[in-house]
Amino acid sequence: MTTPVCPFVKASRPDETSLKKCPFGFDSSSTTTAAATNDKNNKPSQPHKKQQSPSPSPAVIEAKCPFGYDSQKLKIGPLSCVICQALIFQCSRCVPCSHAFCKGCISKFNDCPLCGADIEKIEDDEKIQSLVDRFIEGHARIKRTQEIDSNNTENNKEEGVAESPKNKTVIYEDVSLERGAFLFQHAMRAFRAQNMESAKSRLSLCAEDIRDQLEKMGNTSELCSQLGAVLGMLGDCCRATGDTTSAISYFEESVEFLSKLPRNDLEITHTLSVSLNKIGDLKYYEGDLEATRTYYFRSLNVRRDAVKDNPNVPSLILDLAVSLAKVADVDRSLGKEDVAINGFQEAIQLVEPLKLKPEETGLQKRLDSVLEFLKSQIVEKEAEATL
């Protein structure tokens, strides 16, 4: 049985030789709850247990996070907004009840979601927000190895001088990419709650950290894939707020990084083609049909290659049919009716013969929907021709 550790620290288990330290000291027996006492309401959810041994080994001390994050399962703690269930962003309190929420969340309400009191006004709480920001910096960012003077360390040991935290080497791994993708997870929570500014803030931190790693480690497949996904989500946030220019910029950068990766990963292929389609969608809304077709066609080629390498994957064939329909629809708008009809017919020839396995029945509804749409595009045109 393993000892639970704070999920935001890539801490070593008791059976490992090297220990990684929490910057707030929450993984040692001498922990103080200074961070928690910044606000009298932030009491530790599980206090430290006293050790029976007068000099316990740090390797066997059970870590207790004062915010309740002492298990592998993420919890809603006192630093979280109960509306979006993510860490508070732009912390604001309702007056008169003083309950704290994200500003973007509570601004949608006239009554407090917790107590039902009429909200007279909303006030910023910089104290709590500062604690949240410090918590993120300490638990969810890349912390590089701190360089220390090994000679001074040895001298201190010989002279009996205690080793301070300042001259210890602390390796704090990038948990925004590991341990459940902490920052990305909170961004997704905020995005689902339509708190786009919070989502953008967390995703921007993710992107910043991954860029730092890219400079340090080069364009590895893992990092490029992660950055491509994060940039795609940033594009979605900007698109949701109507910022088309920024959305296109993020999607294009996402495509740039994803294009550097080998196409043998179906998830990467799917994400790349979706990003290209999203740029095409935005160009379509801007009325630039030629640019729209260019991006749709690039997505189509990505999906053609994927189906060529994986001809028996129904989901890929459906994706390819959708891309054919998108390009055909633009061709029709450009006055190229014969080309459009050929595109719709090719898509139908791909979808009609599909036979789903029992474990693929979840795709049946999508298959029926795509096929119905494709046939309707040809039937409608034939009906127009007979008039």
Cβ of 315: how many Cβ atoms within 10 Å? 16
Residue 369's pLDDT is 92
The string of pLDDT tens digits covering residues 100-157 is: 888 888 888 888 888 888 888 888 888 888 888 888 777 666 543 334 344 444 444 4
Residue 162's pLDDT is 46
Model's pTM, two decimal places?
0.67
Residues 6+ apart with CB under 8 A from 23: 138, 139, 143, 170, 172
CA 313 to chain CA centroid, nearest Å: 27
Whether the per-residue pLDDT at 94 is higher than 90: the answer is no
Quote the DSSP letter at residue 11.
P
Query: Is the Cβ–Cβ distance between 100 and 88 less than 8 Å?
Result: yes
CA distance 358 to 355: 10
Taking alpha carbons only, the member of 264, 182, 177, 253 closest to residue 217 is 177
pLDDT over 90, % of the chain? 29
Residue 116's pLDDT is 82
For residue 381, name the pLDDT band (cuts at 50, 70, 90).
low
CA distance 348 to 257: 33
Residue 76's pLDDT is 63
Whether the per-residue pLDDT at 168 is higher than 80: the answer is no
Peptide bond into 96 cis (omega under 30): yes
Residues 6+ apart with CB under 8 A from 269: 263, 302, 303, 305, 306
The string of pLDDT tens digits covering residues 53-63 is: 444 444 444 54
Q: How many CA atoms lie within 13 A of 219 on its CB side?
A: 8
Vertex 221 angle, CA 304 and 276, to 5°: 40
Query: Is the Cβ–Cβ distance between 377 and 328 less than 8 Å?
Result: yes
